[in-house]
Structure 1
Amino acid sequence: MTFFHKSPWAALACALLLSTASAQTQPWRAWSDALPRPALEEAQDKVAELQATACGESGNAGALLAQLENHLGNASPLSPQALQAALDSAGLQPPAQRPVALSLSSALAHAQAWLEQHDPAGLKALAASEDARSAAKAKAAALEATLLNKPNAAAAALLTAHRLDPKDAETLVNLGGALVVLALPNEALAVLDAANQLPLPIGGALGWSPQAVALNNRGVALLDLGQAGSAEPLFRQALRLTPDLVEARSNLARALACTGKTAEAATLLRASGRRTAQPTPATPGTPVTPTGVPPAEVTSDDDPEGTEETTRPIEWAFDISHGKGVNLPNLKLPGSPKEALELNASYGALSTTLVGRVHGLAQQQSQLISSLGAQRLGEPPLVQLRQAALDAALVQSRREPRIRSLWTATEQADREVQRVIDGFNQEFSGFYAQTAGQVDALPRLQALCIPAMSSATNSWRAAMNLYATRLAKAAEAQYRLETGLAANSSDSQWHLFASLTAEHTAVNSYATLVNSAAQWTGLVTTLATVCVESETTSLVQEVAGPLHTPRADLCSGTMDHLSLSVSIKVVQISVSCDKASLKVASPGWIGAFGKVDKSFTSGDVTVSAGAEIGAEVPLTSAGIKAAGGFYVTLNAEGEFKDVGVLAEAKASLSTKVGPVKIGSSVKGLSGRWSLIAGSSH
Structure 2
Amino acid sequence: MKRLLTALLLASPLAVCLADVASAQAVTSERWVGWSDAPPATDDDVTAQLLEAAFANRFPNRADVRADFSVIGTYERALSAMSPSDPNYKATKAELDRLRAKAKGNLSGTPAPVRGAVKAVTFAEALNGARHAAYLDAPQKDIDRLANLLQGKTAAQLQGVVATGVLKNRPAIALAALLAAHARDAKNPAHLVNAAGLLSLLGMPYEALSFLDEANKLGTPSGAFVSRAVMLNARGHALLTLGRFADAETALREAVRLDPFLAEAKRNLALALRAQGKKTEAVTYFAAAGRRGPAPKNASTATATPPPAPPAVPGGPSSPPTAPPSTPTSTSTGTAARTLVLTPAHEVYDLSRGRGWKLPSLKYPKNVQDGQAFFEQVKELQEWYRQRSDARMQQVAELQQQQAARLVQARRPSPGDELAKARVYDIVFRITALPFEPTLKKRFALVAEELTRDEGAVNFGGSQFDATKPNSQQTVFFNSRTPSGRFAQAMKDIAAAETPELTACRDSDCREGVRRKYNAMRCPAFKEAHARWRTSMLRLDGAYAELMDPMYRVATGLASNISDPVDFKLARLTAQQEAENLISNLLATASSAGNLWAQYETRVADGMDCDGTAEAEAQPQEEAPEAFECPLTGPYKLKADLKIAELSVNCEKVAVEITVLESELLFVESGGFAELEYAFEGEITLTLGTKAGVGGVLTAGAKSAVYIKVDTSGAFKDFGVKQSTAAGVMLGPVGAEVEIETPISLIPG
By the TM > 0.5 criterion, same fold? yes
Within 1, Cα distance between the matches of 2:649 and 2:78? 45
Q: Does 1:242 align with 2:321?
A: no
Within 2, Cα distance between the matches of 1:284 and 1:87? 45
Q: Does 1:426 align with 2:489?
A: yes
Gaps of 5+ in 2: 1-6, 82-96, 305-330, 460-481, 503-512, 726-731
Which residue is 1:657 aligned to?
none
TM-superposed deviation, 1:41? 4.8
Which residue is 2:219 aligned to?
199
Letter of the structure 2 residue corresponding to residue 249 of structure 1 = K
Q: Does 1:276 align with 2:278?
A: no
User: In 2 relative to 1, CA 373–447 (structure 1 residues): closer, same or farther, beyond 3 Å?
Assistant: same
Within 2, Cα distance between the matches of 1:138 and 1:436? 100
Which residue is 1:381 aligned to?
418
Within 2, Cα distance between the matches of 1:328 and 1:521? 21
Which residue is 2:458 aligned to?
417
Residues 525-545 of structure 1, C-alpha deviation per residue, up to 9 Å, x if partnerless?
Answer: 412436751477899x54212
User: In 2 relative to 1, CA 109–348 (structure 1 residues): closer, same or farther, beyond 3 Å?
Assistant: closer
Which residue is 2:208 aligned to?
188
Residues 67-93 of structure 1, C-alpha deviation per residue, up to 9 Å, x if partnerless?
Answer: 99889989xxxxxxxxx9x98999964
Q: Mapping of 1:191-270 within 5 angstroms?
A: 191-201=211-221, 204-205=223-224, 208-270=225-287
Within 1, Cα distance between the matches of 2:386 and 2:61? 68
Which residue is 1:177 aligned to?
197
TM-superposed deviation, 1:151? 1.8
Q: Which of 622, 625, 639 pairs up with 1:546?
A: 622
What secondary structure is seen at the aligned counterpart in 1 of 2:627? coil
Q: Does 1:151 align with 2:155?
A: no
Within 1, Cα distance between the matches of 2:613 and 2:10? 71
TM-superposed deviation, 1:479? 1.9
User: Does structure 1 retain, via aligned residues, the 8 Å contact 2:10–2:717?
Assistant: no
User: In 2 relative to 1, CA 99–310 (structure 1 residues): closer, same or farther, beyond 3 Å?
Assistant: farther
Q: Which of 419, 438, 450 pairs up with 2:501?
A: 438
Q: Mapping of 1:571-590 within 5 angstroms?
A: 575-584=649-658, 586=662, 588=664
What secondary structure is seen at the aligned counterpart in 2 of 1:489? coil
Q: Does 1:110 align with 2:110?
A: no
TM-superposed deviation, 1:521? 5.4
What secondary structure is seen at the aligned counterpart in 2 of 1:581? strand
User: Does structure 1 retain, via aligned residues, the 8 Å contact 2:158–2:642?
Assistant: no
Which residue is 1:653 aligned to?
none
User: Does structure 1 retain, via aligned residues, the 8 Å contact 2:343–2:438?
Assistant: no
Which residue is 1:674 aligned to?
745
Which residue is 1:351 aligned to?
382
User: Does structure 1 retain, via aligned residues, the 8 Å contact 2:368–2:530?
Assistant: yes
User: In 2 relative to 1, CA 359–665 (structure 1 residues): closer, same or farther, beyond 3 Å?
Assistant: closer
Residues 241-292 of structure 1, C-alpha deviation per residue, up to 9 Å, x if partnerless?
Answer: 2223222222222222221222333444445443334343279699xxxxxx
Within 1, Cα distance between the matches of 2:372 and 2:79? 88
TM-superposed deviation, 1:190? 0.9
What secondary structure is seen at the aligned counterpart in 2 of 1:633? strand
Within 1, Cα distance between the matches of 2:443 and 2:420? 32
Within 1, Cα distance between the matches of 2:64 and 2:142? 34
User: Does structure 1 retain, via aligned residues, the 8 Å contact 2:636–2:654?
Assistant: no
Within 2, Cα distance between the matches of 1:189 and 1:313? 40
Within 2, Cα distance between the matches of 1:512 and 1:115? 65
User: In 2 relative to 1, CA 553–28 (structure 1 residues): closer, same or farther, beyond 3 Å?
Assistant: farther
Within 1, Cα distance between the matches of 2:60 and 2:584? 64
User: In 2 relative to 1, CA 153–301 (structure 1 residues): closer, same or farther, beyond 3 Å?
Assistant: farther
Which residue is 2:507 aligned to?
none
User: In 2 relative to 1, CA 27–352 (structure 1 residues): closer, same or farther, beyond 3 Å?
Assistant: farther
Letter of the structure 2 residue corresponding to residue 458 of structure 1 = A
Letter of the structure 2 residue corresponding to residue 629 of structure 1 = A
TM-superposed deviation, 1:358? 3.4
User: Does structure 2 retain, via aligned residues, the 8 Å contact 1:177–1:675?
Assistant: yes
Deviates more, 1:22-31 or 1:233-242: 22-31
Within 2, Cα distance between the matches of 1:108 and 1:55? 26
Which residue is 2:17 aligned to?
15
TM-superposed deviation, 1:326? 0.5
Letter of the structure 1 residue corresponding to residue 487 of structure 2 = F
Within 2, Cα distance between the matches of 1:125 and 1:132? 13
Within 1, Cα distance between the matches of 2:78 and 2:576? 60
Letter of the structure 2 residue corresponding to residue 319 of structure 1 = D
Within 2, Cα distance between the matches of 1:149 and 1:69? 29
Letter of the structure 1 residue corresponding to residue 162 of structure 2 = A
Letter of the structure 2 residue corresponding to residue 146 of structure 1 = V
Scaled by the length of structure 1, the TM-score of the pair is 0.78
Q: Give the share of equivalent positions with the same residue, in percent.
A: 26
User: In 2 relative to 1, CA 271–426 (structure 1 residues): closer, same or farther, beyond 3 Å?
Assistant: farther
User: In 2 relative to 1, CA 52–514 (structure 1 residues): closer, same or farther, beyond 3 Å?
Assistant: closer
Within 2, Cα distance between the matches of 1:264 and 1:373? 44
Letter of the structure 2 residue corresponding to residue 456 of structure 1 = A
Q: Which of 604, 610, 621 pairs up with 2:689?
A: 610
Within 2, Cα distance between the matches of 1:59 and 1:268? 23
What secondary structure is seen at the aligned counterpart in 1 of 2:501? coil
Which residue is 1:595 aligned to?
674
User: In 2 relative to 1, CA 191–302 (structure 1 residues): closer, same or farther, beyond 3 Å?
Assistant: farther
Letter of the structure 2 residue corresponding to residue 338 of structure 1 = Q
Residues 171-222 of structure 1, C-alpha deviation per residue, up to 9 Å, x if partnerless?
Answer: 21112112212322111101101212232156x43xx212121111111111
Residues 422-456 of structure 1, C-alpha deviation per residue, up to 9 Å, x if partnerless?
Answer: 43233333333344423554234233222233333
User: In 2 relative to 1, CA 463–386 (structure 1 residues): closer, same or farther, beyond 3 Å?
Assistant: same
Within 2, Cα distance between the matches of 1:311 and 1:390? 12
Within 2, Cα distance between the matches of 1:452 and 1:174? 82
> Once superposed, what is the RMSD of the aligned Cα atoms?
4.3
User: In 2 relative to 1, CA 397–140 (structure 1 residues): closer, same or farther, beyond 3 Å?
Assistant: same
Which residue is 1:318 aligned to?
349
Within 1, Cα distance between the matches of 2:382 and 2:388? 10
Letter of the structure 2 residue corresponding to residue 455 of structure 1 = E
User: In 2 relative to 1, CA 473–366 (structure 1 residues): closer, same or farther, beyond 3 Å?
Assistant: farther
User: Does structure 2 retain, via aligned residues, the 8 Å contact 1:581–1:640?
Assistant: no
Residues 311-364 of structure 1, C-alpha deviation per residue, up to 9 Å, x if partnerless?
Answer: 544433332221110012321121122333554443443333333333433443
User: Does structure 1 retain, via aligned residues, the 8 Å contact 2:14–2:709?
Assistant: no
Which residue is 1:289 aligned to?
none
Residues 137-170 of structure 1, C-alpha deviation per residue, up to 9 Å, x if partnerless?
Answer: 3344323322222222222222222222222121
User: In 2 relative to 1, CA 355–60 (structure 1 residues): closer, same or farther, beyond 3 Å?
Assistant: closer
Scaled by the length of structure 2, the TM-score of the pair is 0.72
Letter of the structure 1 residue corresponding to residue 175 of structure 2 = A
Gaps of 5+ in 1: 75-83, 287-297, 620-624, 650-660
Within 2, Cα distance between the matches of 1:71 and 1:463? 65
Q: Does 1:627 align with 2:646?
A: no
Q: Does 1:448 align with 2:465?
A: no
User: In 2 relative to 1, CA 375–278 (structure 1 residues): closer, same or farther, beyond 3 Å?
Assistant: same
User: Does structure 2 retain, via aligned residues, the 8 Å contact 1:173–1:195?
Assistant: yes
User: In 2 relative to 1, CA 99–425 (structure 1 residues): closer, same or farther, beyond 3 Å?
Assistant: farther
What secondary structure is seen at the aligned counterpart in 1 of 2:457? helix
TM-superposed deviation, 1:596? 5.2
Q: Which of 606, 610, 623 pairs up with 1:533?
A: 610
User: In 2 relative to 1, CA 452–310 (structure 1 residues): closer, same or farther, beyond 3 Å?
Assistant: closer
